[in-house]
Chains A and B, each alone.
Chain A
């Protein structure tokens, strides 16, 4: 098929994740267009990264789009709204109708809709002016990193 994408992605260091949810706030803020992060206070946020875990076992980790080599969401989108360009899986929110088929097929549970019911996804902060992923920039513990890794 084709050569492995040698591009940077967000990777998880689960053993260092405190479960603080800062990545969720930094993501929501970076994509909000708001001037001050404090404006998020008291609001329901719709981040493109989420912290999951199991309290009992003190497991926490952050999940966002893996930007798969061969993404199933792109193949299964019934609106032709998801595509992959330059290693980044993107969604055209104008085309999306919110059927959630991508949510049904993403093996990582990485996709969730925005407040309006239309899908949104991590595009590695390439379309919001952040420069590099805000979730990683704000992580106090390097529990998520943005780097290039090879295939195992």
Chain B
């Protein structure tokens, strides 16, 4: 990034005691944001990244696109090969952080080493949540769908004759289904919820998307769950049976908050941070899937396990760790997800009055609360949806705009001429 152009120099001389020691636990988008944030404020400090995965940073959400042959291992690197060197960051690959000692300011690794820090960022991500299924140990081929290793493992076992059962019809399970659809014979997806994508869609929207997926041959078993696995058979609570060769568990994820919790830090569903991404422990920050940020549309903390949030949080943490001053006080959940070319965009919280526009297979539903846009679900006609997220992010009073003049489609014509003059006639 141009931001970092002046920050070259792997100044790693231990006799220079003035250099700050930054340690980052994790090597995903939040870690990259943290490195780039640190380098905005401190070109010289020592950065150490503790990476459990033995991989250059890659785009985690692209693992389904990898299986779909829409990207490859080289292209899916989140930053180029020179990223760590250019930023003077040392990566400890294949090492796991076991504990944090906030008093001594050290991190203990599974290798027996101890890493000292002046400022620490916990960007440890999330892990798949696997409920205790009866007979799960009898299943020979079972995978999660969180890491590149999961995708590479699946790639090895899938054949045109494979029947796959995916447990979980959320974002991860369904992206997996899309990714492997052309590689396998059959895909069945089950979920305890009565609809797919239940965390982001209502019944009607979910129905539209489900129809598209069913057109591609994906079968659903909703309001149902596995009561027992017997080798290549799943016995369902409903009494049905599902035969499969490969099982994918995509039930949900849990924030990796244990390190901070065990060190005495405040943890809820994720690590609790303030708007500077600082935890309750001194000199310890947290960012990404393991942290719980303030959602302006909810008016409360929630884990925003999304890649853009991870980067933004990491970057904010990094700037603050390096003595800069950055706040992140306008976060809210956002999802852009597509299946077989059919796109869905959602944002914010679904609360308040509803404005709805429908046209064939397109639905735009907006939630208005206290004079502001609180959230939306747009299915199908997603063009320029960023204008709507800007209304949420910038807390634009709806009385100052005409949000629905184009029948729900976003247009800059909703703003006053004066606002447009600033947006399109000024440096932004």
**Chain A residues close to B by CB (< 8 Å):** 1-2, 4-5, 9, 11-14, 52-54, 57, 59, 61, 63, 66, 68-69, 74-76, 78-80, 83-86, 94-95, 97-109, 111-112, 117, 149-152
Contacts and interface: CB of A to CB of B under 8 A. Distances in A.
B3 A52 contact: no
Contacts of B62: 78-79, 97
B338 A79 contact: no
B332 to A, nearest CB: 11
B263 interface: no
Given A76-B308, A79-B78, A97-B62, 14 more contacts: A11-B424, A14-B417, A53-B413, A57-B413, A61-B420, A61-B424, A75-B312, A75-B315, A98-B338, A100-B345, A103-B385, A109-B411, A149-B426, A151-B426
Contact of A105 (B65, B79, B386): B386
B1 A109 contact: no
Contact of B336 (A5, A68, A104, A149): A104
Nearest to A80: B78
B383 interface: yes
Nearest to A88: B2
B18 interface: no
Nearest to B410: A109
Contacts of B65: 97
Contacts of B389: 104-105, 107
5 contacts: A11-B425, A53-B413, A101-B308, A103-B382, A112-B383
B341 A117 contact: yes
Contacts of B343: 100
Interface in B27-52: 29, 33, 40
A73 to B, nearest CB: 9
Nearest to B421: A14
A103 B384 contact: yes
Interface in B394-428: 394, 405-406, 410-413, 417, 420-428
A14 B311 contact: no
Contacts of A59: 413, 417
Given A2-B3, A14-B420, A105-B386, A152 B427 contact: yes
B252 interface: no
Interface stretch (B68-76, B214-222, B237-245, B358-366): B68-76
A14 B338 contact: no
Contact of B413 (A12, A52, A117): A52
B116 interface: no
Contacts of A75: 33, 308, 311-312, 315
A53 B347 CA distance: 25
Nearest to A76: B308
Contacts of A52: 411-413
Contacts of A78: 29, 59, 61-62, 307-308
Interface in B116-172: none
A109 B334 contact: no
Contact of A109 (B76, B79, B311, B387): B387
B311 A84 contact: no
B59 A63 contact: no
A86 B2 contact: yes
B383 A95 contact: no
Contacts of B354: none
A94 to B, nearest CB: 6
B335 to A, nearest CB: 8
A52 B406 CA distance: 11
Ranked nearest first, the 7 interchain pairs of A and B with the lowest CB-CB distance are A109-B384, A107-B390, A76-B308, A12-B424, A106-B386, A54-B413, A80-B78
Contact of B405 (A9, A54, A86, A104): A54
A74 B425 CA distance: 22
B413 A13 contact: no
Contact of A104 (B77, B386, B406, B413): B386
A152 B423 contact: no
B20 interface: no
Contacts of A9: 427
Contact of B383 (A54, A85, A109, A152): A109
Given A14-B424, A61-B420, A80-B79, A107 B413 contact: no
Contacts of A105: 308, 334, 386, 389
A106 B3 CA distance: 20
Contacts of A107: 386-387, 389-390, 393-394, 423
Contact of B59 (A1, A13, A80, A84): A80
Nearest to B61: A78
Contacts of A13: 425
B327 interface: no
Interface in B321-347: 334-338, 341, 343, 345, 347
Contacts of A100: 336, 338, 343, 345, 382
A14 B78 CA distance: 38
Given A83-B1, A105-B334, A149-B426, A99 B61 contact: yes
